[in-house]
Structure 1
Amino acid sequence: MQKLYGVIGKPIAQSMSPLMHNEEFRQLGINANYQPFHILDHDLKTAVEGMKVIGIEGFNVTSPHKTAIMPFLDSIDPLANAIGAVNTIVRENGDFRGYNTDGTGFIQALQSAWKKDFMNEQTRTLIVGAGGASKAIYYTLLAKGMKYVDICNRSVINAQQLIEDCPYEGVSKALSLHEAELELVDYDLVIQTTSIGMYPDITNSPLDLEHLRTNAFVSDIIYNPSETAFLQQAKHKGAQTQNGIGMFIHQGALAFKMWTGITPNFERMTNIVTEKLGGTTC
C-alpha cells in the first residue's frame, strides 16, 4: 500500500519539496507519494484531523502555519516547543508529533560547506534578523553548544527579546544594524536570516559588509536568487559564502529520514533543486 506524505502552507504551489521528495522515493524504490496541500488559516485544525484520518505518515509545515499548528498536535519535541514553531510532523504510534528541523538543517548545511569545527566556544557568530528563521537557528546553535552568538536587527528591542526568551545558555548581545556593521571584524560567522535581497528585490542588502574580516564565513538563508547582493559583497571581501539551498536540502533530508528511517541522497536532492532554480549552491 502506498504511503502518503505532504506539505501544507498558504501559498504552496511554489514549494519544491514535492519534486525533491518524490524523486527520492522513486530512486530509492519506496512506495510513497508526497503532495502539496493549500490550507487556509481557518481550516488548519480540520486539515490536521483529516490528515490523521486518511493515514498520512508525516508532513512538512511552511508559512503561515508553523506556529498556529502547534495546539492541534498530540505532542511536540522540546526544541520545537522552545522555538515556538514546527516544520515537520511525524506519525508516531498513531499520534502526530511536531519537530523543527530548520536550525539543525542549517547547522548540517554549514558543516558540509565550512570544513571547520565551529560549534565551540571560540567561534563568534552574528545573526542578522530576529524573525522566525533567526529564532530557530539561534536556539539550535545555543542548544547544541555554541556560546557566543549576537543578534542584530532593525528593531533592537526585538533582538533583545529573542535573546531574553531563549531557554538555552549562551553569551549574546543585541545590536542595531549600524552597530553590527562597525563590529563585523569581530565575527567568524555571519548568518543572514531576513527576506532582504530575496527575488524580486535582489539589489537590497541588510548590512554594509565593509568591515567584514576576509576569513569570515557568510551564510544567507535565501536561495532565490542563488547569490544575493549580501553574498556578492561578502565574496568581494574575500569571505567564504553559502546560500540557503543547503539549509533547505538538509532540513528536508532530516524529515525524510524521520519518516522513512532512510538517509536520502543529498547530492541528488541538491541537483534537482538547483536545476529547478536554474542556479548554483554558491
Structure 2
Amino acid sequence: MPRSISRDTRLCMSLSGRPGNFGTRFQNYLFEALDLDFIYKAFTTTDLPAAIGGIRALGIRGSAVSMPFKEACIPLLDELDASAAAIQSVNTIVADNGWLKGYNTDYSAVASLLQSHGVPREIDFALRGSGGMAKAVASAFRDSGFKRGQIIARNTETGPALAQSCGYHWKPELGNERPRMLVNVTPLGMEGGPDADTLAFTLEQVEAADWVFDVVALPVETPLIRLARELGKPVITGAEVIVLQAVEQFVLYSGVRPEGTLIERAALFARG
C-alpha cells in the first residue's frame, strides 16, 4: 500500500544541474522502510537564491546539493558545519526553523573509502578536477595523510587554488606522467553527458597505475572504471561514494541511522 502523504509530511529535496534518480529512490526507499513521514524529490533551478529561499520559507527539511551549486550556495546559508567550512563546499543543507546549515558528506565518504580499501598513503596520485566535489576529494586525501598529489585542471584560478590549499602541485594537463593512482572528479564518463564515452586519463596512464578512482556515480561502470577492471586494477567507484554520502544525508535529515543490510537494499533499489 502506498504511503499516505499529509500536511505533516516533511519534504527533503536535491538541487542539481542535471538531476538523477539515485538520491530520490534511495532516500524514499529508506523513509518508507523505516516508516518515517518524509518524502524526497529532485529539482534543478536557474535561480539558486530563490531555490534556497524556498527551502527556508517553506519549511523544507533539507536538500542535497550537486554540481554546479556546491560553492555558489554558501553565501545563501546561515552556518557551515566544519566538514563544509574547511573546504568551502556544500553538498547537504539542513533547515531547522528557517536556519540553514551546510554540510559536506562527500568528504567523509571519500576518507572512509580510502581507509576501507587500504590505499597506501605513500602513493603518488593525480586528481583531475577543481570544482566543489574536487575540493572534498582532495581534502579527504590530504587529511588522510596522502602527501604526493597533483591537481590536474585547465582552470587557471580554481586549479592552483585547490592545489595550494591542500599542499599539492597543479598542472593544466598531466602530459606523459604515470602516477600510481588516478582520480577523476570531472563529468568525463558521466551517463547522459556530452563526454559519456570519454576517458579522464589515457590508456597508457591507466595501464601504469596501481589504483583507479572515479567519482562519477552513473553509470556504475564508467569507461574509466571498466578499463581499469579489464586491466586488473583495484578501483574505487563513484557508486560507493554516492551510497556512503547519501546515508549520512539521510541521518542528517531524519536523525535515524539505518542498519547495513537495509542500506544495501536501498542502494540496489536506487540503481534499479
TM range (shorter): 0.7 to 0.9
For 1:56 and 1:161, how far apart are their aligned partners in 2?
Answer: 34
Picking from 84, 88, 93, the partner of 2:92 is: 88
Which consecutive unaligned segments of at least 5 residues does structure 1 have? 276-282
For 2:218 and 2:162, how far apart are their aligned partners in 1?
Answer: 27
Aligned to 2:54: 50
Letter aligned with residue 12 of structure 2? Y
Q: Tell me how far 1:94 sits from its aligned partner.
A: 4.8
Asked if residue 234 in structure 1 is aligned to residue 228 in structure 2, the reply is: yes
Aligned to 2:79: 75
Aligned to 1:9: 16
Equivalent pairs, count? 260
SS of the residue 1:218 aligns to: strand
Contact 1:9 1:37 in 2 (8 A): yes
SS of the residue 1:198 aligns to: coil
Which consecutive unaligned segments of at least 5 residues does structure 2 have? 1-7
Q: Tell me how far 1:30 sits from its aligned partner.
A: 1.2
Picking from 20, 30, 37, the partner of 2:26 is: 20
Q: Tell me how far 1:137 sits from its aligned partner.
A: 0.7
For 2:14 and 2:172, how far apart are their aligned partners in 1?
Answer: 36
SS of the residue 1:85 aligns to: coil
Picking from 174, 178, 187, the partner of 1:183 is: 178
Aligned to 1:31: 37
For 1:9 and 1:274, how far apart are their aligned partners in 2?
Answer: 18
Give the TM-score of the pair, scaled to structure 2: 0.82
Contact 1:156 1:174 in 2 (8 A): no
CA RMSD of aligned residues (A): 2.7
Q: Tell me how far 1:256 sits from its aligned partner.
A: 0.8
SS of the residue 1:210 aligns to: helix
For 2:16 and 2:159, how far apart are their aligned partners in 1?
Answer: 27
My pick for the range that moved more, 210-219 or 246-255, is 210-219
Given the superposition, is the C-alpha separation of residues 149 and 32 from structure 1 closer, same or farther in structure 2, using an over 3 Å criterion?
Answer: same
Identity %: 27
Picking from 174, 178, 195, the partner of 2:170 is: 174
For 2:247 and 2:51, how far apart are their aligned partners in 1?
Answer: 24
Aligned to 1:266: 263
For 1:63 and 1:157, how far apart are their aligned partners in 2?
Answer: 18
Letter aligned with residue 222 of structure 2? T
Aligned to 1:104: 108
Letter aligned with residue 265 of structure 2? R
Aligned pairs for 1:215-254 within 5 A: 216-254=210-248
Given the superposition, is the C-alpha separation of residues 162 and 20 from structure 1 closer, same or farther in structure 2, using an over 3 Å criterion?
Answer: same
Picking from 199, 217, 225, the partner of 2:191 is: 199
